[in-house]
Structure formats: structure tokens, C-alpha cells
Chains A and B, each alone.
Chain A
Amino acid sequence: MTGTAQAPLLRMRGVGKSFLGVPVLRDVDLQVRAGEVHALVGENGAGKSTLMKILAGVHRADAGTVELGGARVDFDHPVRAREAGVATVFQEFNLLPERTVAENVFLGREPRGRGLRAGVDARAMEEETGRLLEELGLTALSPRTPVRALSVAEQQIVEVVKAMAQSARIITMDEPTAALAGAEVELLYRLVRRLQERGTAVLYVSHRLQEIFDLSDRITVLKDGALAGTVDTGATGHAGLIRMMVGRPVSAVFPPKAEGTRTGGVRLEVSGGGNRWLDGIDLRVRAGEIVGLAGLQGSGRTEVAHALFGIDRFTRGELRIDGERVAVRSPRRAVRSGLALVSEDRKTQGLALHRSVLDNGRLVLDAVMPLRSRERARRLPGLFSSLELVARSPAQEVRFLSGGNQQKVVLAKWLAAAPSVVVLDEPTRGIDVGAKHAVYTLVRRLAAEGAAIVLISSELPEVIGLADRVLVLRDGRIAGELPGGAAEESVMGLAVGAAPARAGGEADR
């Protein structure tokens, strides 16, 4: 059943794209027919977003061709793509919260009236918006409501209406349900089906298998920037799809456990932890143990790190460090209680880029434990060399260091404070293989020294290869626990909510 009856509306062929020499897409083909709901799936970092952005005119492909309705196109700006009938509903909305629905729909293309209604014709905009909303069966939404008063689902509707007003032929939705509550998902479903009835093609990017099987006609799977295949939705099942998404050969070699690593008493314990983003988080990490946190983007991994560290703290449940109940109300408290957080974004959250290597290394000491800082700072040169930090001198500004070396400075900063619990959020993002290995070795060594380690990473092999246990998060809850070395497939299964795993009994809201 490969589209012989009907020429595809969109045909992308051999699309490739690199960022700073790193290939993120290689030779990808994608065909979408008119009136089709086409799902685009893949792990974090599989290249879905890049492919989508090429289609939307945000990025330009390095290789390959894009055809729309048989004609070759090459969008150099999102506005060109929109004009050609390609609309994209990004996760961050392109709406002005202070303006009304109608004003947003017609932004940049305001109709002008004649005679008494000369100038921008607000009434015409409202009428046309109302007509489009009606066409979608959404008469409850008023064109005159300011967008800030709308829920996330309603804002998505406005984006879709904006696309329709520009007579979009294909609408891409980037994880549209990521921020939706249960009832709103239903609204979105109907919206997608209505678009389909109108003959609009929908390219639906999502992680959630349920939605993909509910909505799509065909599924294209990306893996590591390459095409893993396109299948008819009816001809595949959850397990088959997951198999297509994961299962790459293990490329990285992870260092073995450091000698003398012994699992000791519980150092970090969270029971029933929850806040605005998380619920029912139970987590116990022993001395010398590495616990991995896996999950899709937005599943709550970083939120756990932030909650532990007092940035967006747990408002429910209990947190104990070394058996003692602590109330971590601020990062300062967290550091005092023996926690360290290597944050996701080292450039904005981990380093003072214009200060020297040494200043950055002393940052935590000086700020939180000034009395003992000089004594402890003596450890820094030793830490730098054991991390194999490459810098011209300790006085060099960190912004001149490579990503890997910057990360080593962040690690040294925390190690100088001798923490008992270390939380690492994406510690190897954007650093080269050699530096990755240094980070892995360090994590092992920290465990051997008796620290309790929480490791968060989007790279499944990393979590599986390093952690003693892996907790999988989904929608802010723990979806299940797997032993270290578990198959990528089972982790992915829990993350997307497919496998009937141990914790799978809980109903998806």
C-alpha cells in the first residue's frame, strides 16, 4: 500500500543536515499524502525536530530535496514556508498573549476595509476567525478573547486556525499533547481528525504510542538521524515500533566499576515526593550506588533534579539525606545538606563564563562554606589534574575552554565541596567522546568514594551502561524500575507507556 494511487503532497528525499560538522540527519526520505495523518517518531535526538524545522524553513537542508505538490521548494525563512502552505505548530507558541485570538490569527496579514471601516478591519478579522473556528466545531472559543486567557490546548487551536487562515496544506505538530491534560487531548484528537476531513495533511511528531496508534495512518521512524522505515499504522504494533526506534549497536564502552566500590547505607531517600510537575516520586540511593533516571523529554527528569536541589522543591513527601530529614528550600540549603547538582545547561547555570578556571572552581566553596573555603580550595589543583583538565592556566577564562573542559570545571567546583549526593543532569551533553569517557570514569570514582549518584541522561546507552538501577519517568511519575544493563527496548517501552511493566497498572490520565 505504498502511495501509487495518489501522488504525495510532500516528498522529502535524501535530506541531510549537519550542525558544526556533526551530522544530525542523513539521507532521510519522507512522503506525506493529502488528508493523511502521518506520525514522525524516534528517540530523543533522533532528528525529528531538525527534519521538522527544515520543512518549516527554520533550518536549510545541506543535502536532499523537498517537493510540495510536485514542485520543488527551498524555504529560506519560516514566512516563505507559511506562504507555500506549510504550517508548523511548535511547542513554544508563536502567539502574542496580550492580543486577541483574531488579532493573532491575522497577525502580519491584517485585512483592510473601505469607507467607514477604512484601516485595519477588526470586524472582518473576527468574523473570519469565527467562521474558521466554527468549521472546526469549536464555537465555544471567542475570537475576541485575549490569548493569555486560553488554556494550552486552546492556544494550539489558535495556532491551527492561524495556519488554516493562510490555507495551509500541511500542518506539522510538534508533540502537541506534551503539555495537555486528559480532557484537552480529546479536543486535540478531534481537531486533527477535522483537519484530515478537510484534506489537510498532518505531520504529527510525538513520543506517545497511544496517540500515534489512535490518530495516524502511517508512521515514519527516525533513528540516530537516519530513516529507520515508514510503516502503515495498521500493519504494526507497539512492540514492533519500539524495536524500530531503538536497538542500535552499543558504540560507547563504559568503564567498569572502580575497584573497592561497595554499596553502603542509604544516603538519599525520597518518599512520595511531588510538586507542580512531579507526583509520587520514591527514590532511594545508597552510598556507592549509581541510579539512572531515564525518560522522554518533558517526562520530569530535570524536574526531579531541580526538586532535590531546592530550585522547584518538593511540596509533598519527604526528603532524607544520610537518614536525616531535610527541608531543601533553596540551592544554598541543598549544598549545605551535602547535595551537588551538575546542571543540564553548563553555560547558563553551571559557570561564570567570564571568570577564571580557579574562580569557578571556588564558586561553591566561597559562596556556601566561606569559613573553610581556603583549606578546601587546596584540593582544586589536584581535582583539575585528576580530571585531566586542559587549560592554559588556572587564570584562563572558562569561556575559552572546550565544552568537555568546561564540564570538568563544573565537576571540580562540586567535588571541592565533597558532596554526599551528586545529581548529574545530562553531564555529557555536547562534549566529545574523550571528555565523555573522563566524565564516566569520574562518576565511577565518585561512587567508589561512597557518594550516592543520580544520573540523568537522554542517551539511553549511557544510563543503562553506567547505572546500577534505572528508574523510568513518564508524565511526572515513575513508570517503572529496571536493573542496570537492561535492554534499551524495555526502557523505551516504559518511557512511551507501551510495555505492561510492573508499574504499568496505573491508568494514564
Chain B
Amino acid sequence: MSAPAAQRPTARPGLPRPGTTGLVYLALLAVLLAGAALAAARGQELLTTANTVDLLTRSSLLGLVAIGQTLVILCRSLDLSVGYVMALSSVVGATAMAGQGSRIWLGVAAVVLVAGLVGLANGLIVTRLKVNPFITTLGMGLIIKGYLDTRYKGPAGDVPAEFQLFGYTRIGVVPLSFAVMAAVAVLAVVFLRRTRTGVHMYAVGGDAEVARMSGVRADRPLLAAHVLCAVTAGLAGLLIAARFGTGSTLVYSSGYELESIAAVVLGGTYLLGGRGGVGGTVAGVLVLATLDTVFNVLGVDPFFKDVLRGTVVIAAVALYARRQVDRAATPPRFPPPPLLPPLLHRRTGGRP
């Protein structure tokens, strides 16, 4: 078969460029090294055992929330109710356990059920009633907040000592909660790669119309994402309960919804969906946690810490945006003459 012209190397197989996920891990490494260097310059150590444990514990909590948030954002949706779901779950879990070791599983099941129902409600409102997810989940968050504020005036329930181990056990420097978060992350990665629902999340987030035209039932991935997101937020709530020993309603004011979105975006997932993944998100979470640790070690003013964090997130997204300028545009019919080659030419020509 004669097709020499077709063999023109149009596609670029072989070595892929370092993907965005790779870049985030490089950034994580850079932040770690820079932080360690700064600390060393002040005669301090960044990764002491205490600091490492603190860093990983912090990451496990935010990580759980951010993994769920990743799924939702991949579908071009958003969940602003995760903080409230966490608070609700910590209360539900702690009250259901009622201080008895035998009721641990009852507590866990109750949390999964309640959180799953909240996520299902979110998903149904977004897909069936076509309410913008921003408004849907903001409203859902307010509903949960109202319920918690009227029903509970303070900490509620009692977490048995066995379950508190979930918050404090560690293997070496790795807290059990971090291992759980990592396991959930692995499950999420497999889910996104190996199940049709997972694969279709990318399709729906990338272009819902294309997905529909290809025979994908576009509502399903979105529903699944909202349910799973609420469930991971529920797990984070359980972790909070385990650490506090009781259900805490006030967790919702800790700003987990926005911080989880920041972690997802920092991890290279497009806020508009269709691209990214859980791997990047975990790195994003670790970057944020490392920054916190570095700021603590350096004794940065806590308010100024927020300024720095905000700057980092915006800078990262600006960087990603640069990488994808004009990607979608149709190629010009009369492309401008390339600027670089003539310059090079002149230079080499100038020096015989």
C-alpha cells in the first residue's frame, strides 16, 4: 500500500511531555526543598518527626475532601457543601457510636448513608432540576448549617476510644488517617481509569454534548460524582470526630470547601472539567500542607499565611492557563511567519 505522504510524522508518539500531574509533583519537591533550605538558614529543621506527622495528618483531612471534589470538578460541577457535610457527618457518626466500641460500624454506616443522601440530593438537583451546581451546593450547605445550628448547641455524641485510634495511630511517621486517604485516592484513580462511569466523567466534563452524541448517559457520571464527593466528605467528618472524640458542628467554618477546590486546581485539574485527576490533587494537597508547615516553622504571621497561599494558588492556575492558550482555536489559514527561525538564521548567517 503506497502511502508515503500519510507517513508524514503527523502524530507525536513516543515520549509524552511531562504532564500537569508530573509538574505538580515537581512543584511539591521544589516547595519541600526550598522550605527545608529556608528553615535551615534559620538553623531549624523542616521535617522533624512532629512536623511530618502534622503535615501528613493535615493532608489526610483535606485530601479526603479534595479527592471527592476532584470527581465533581472533573464533571464540570462543583461542591460547596463539603464543609457542612463534614460537620454533619462528625455529629451523625459520634451520636450513632454513642461511646460504644460495638457501635463503630453503625456510626460509619450512618455517615455513609447520610452523606450519600446529601450527595444524591445535590446530584439530582443539578441534573434533573438543572440548577447551577454553585447555587445547589451553596443552598444545600446552608440547609445543613441551619439544621446543625438549631439542633446542636455544641459538641455532640461520643466517639469510643477504639475509633479515636483512627485519628491518632501511626505507623512510623505515617498516620493511619493518611494511609486511609491514600487508599481512597488509589481507589478513586482506579475508578476513573477502569469503570465506564469514571471514564465518562471526563467525557461529560469535557463536553457534555459530545458525550451525549456518543451515546453516554450524561447524568449518571455527574450523579455518581456528587454522591462520591459527599461520601468522602463524610469520611473526613468521621476523621474529625475521631480526633476530637466527639461530633463537632463548627468544622464547617474551617473553609474546607474552598481549600479543597484550591487543592484540586493546584493539582492541575481544570476548573471547567474534563481534564486532570486524583494523582494531581493529592500532590496539590501536599503542597498546601507543606506550605503551612513551612510557614509555621518560619513563624509567618497567620494572616499573612493566607495571602501567600492565595498567591500560590492563583500563580499556579495562571501557569496552567499559559500552557493551554489557543489550543482549541482552529489553525489560521495564513499563519504569521514564525518569529524565531529568521532570527536564528540571521545570527548564524552573521557569524561565518
A155 to chain B, nearest CB (A): 10
CB distance A278 to B334 under 8 Å? yes
Residue-wise interface mask of B (115-128) relative to A, using a CB-CB cutoff of 8 A (1 in contact, 0 not):
00000000000000
Q: Which residues of B contact A300 (CB under 8 A)?
A: 333
Asked if B163 lies at the interface with its beta carbon under 8 angstroms from chain A, I say: no
Name the residue of chain A whose CB is nearest to the CB of B327: A148
Say yes or no: A120 contacts B196, CB within 8 Å: yes
The answer on a CB contact under 8 Å between B196 and A110 is yes
Main secondary structure of the interface of A (DSSP, over half): loop
Given contacts A108-B214, A154-B11, A179-B330, A96 and B202 within 8 Å (CB-CB): yes
- Residue B216 is within 8 A (CB to CB) of chain A in the complex: yes
The residue on B at minimum CB distance from A101 is B11
Interface size on B, residues (CB 8 A): 42
State how many angstroms separate the Cβ of B268 from the closest Cβ of chain A: 12
Q: How far is the CA of A144 from the CA of B333 in the complex (A)?
A: 28
A489 sits at the interface (CB 8 A): no
Least CB distance from B3 to A in Å reads 4
What are the interface flags for A139-155 relative to B under an 8 Å C-beta threshold, 1 for contact and 0 otherwise?
Answer: 11110110011111110
Cβ contact within 8 Å between A152 and B211: no
Given A103-B199, A140-B6, are A97 and B194 neighbors across the interface (CB < 8 Å)?
no
Give the number of residues in A that approach B within 8 Å (Cβ atoms): 51
CA distance A142 to B13 in the complex (A): 6
Note all chain B residues with C-beta closer than 8 A to A488.
Answer: none
| A48-91 vs B, Cβ < 8 Å mask (1 yes, 0 no) | 00000000000000000000000000000011001100000000
Within 8 Å of chain A (Cβ to Cβ): is B10? yes
When the two chains form their complex, are residues A96 and B206 in contact, meaning their CB atoms are under 8 A apart?
yes
Tell me whether A99 and B202 are in contact (CB under 8 A): yes
**What are the residues of chain B within 8 A of A277 when measuring CB–CB?**
332-334
For chain B, residues 93 to 119, give those with C-beta under 8 angstroms from any C-beta of chain A.
none
- Residues of A within 8 Å of B214, CB to CB, are 79, 94, 107-109
Q: How far is the CA of A422 from the CA of B253 in the complex (A)?
A: 58
Is A98 part of the binding interface, using a Cβ–Cβ cutoff of 8 Å? yes
B203 at the interface (CB under 8 A from A): yes
Contacts of A118 in B (CB 8 A): 194
A190-B6 CB under 8 A given contacts A94-B214, A95-B210, A137-B1: yes
Our pick among B12, B215, B332 for the contact of A108 (Cβ within 8 Å) is B215
**Inside 8 A of B203's CB, which chain A residues have their CB?**
96, 99, 107-108
| 8 A Cβ contacts from B309-333 to A | 327-328, 330-333
| A438 interfacial contact with B, CB 8 Å | no
Q: Give the one of B1, B9, B202, B214 with max A CB within 10 A.
A: B214
Q: Could you tell me if B335 and A119 are in contact, using CB atoms closer than 8 angstroms? A: no
B274 touches A150 (CB 8 A): no
- CB contact list, B184-234 vs A, under 8 A: 190, 193-196, 198-200, 202-203, 206-207, 209-211, 213-216
**A108 contacts B216, CB within 8 Å?**
yes
Tell me, yes or no, whether B243 is within 8 Å of chain A by CB: no
15 interchain pairs, CB-CB under 8 A: A79-B213, A97-B328, A108-B200, A109-B214, A122-B193, A137-B6, A140-B7, A140-B10, A142-B12, A145-B11, A149-B11, A183-B5, A190-B3, A276-B333, A277-B332
A-B CB proximity, top 6 nearest:
A119-B194, A276-B332, A142-B13, A108-B215, A108-B214, A137-B3
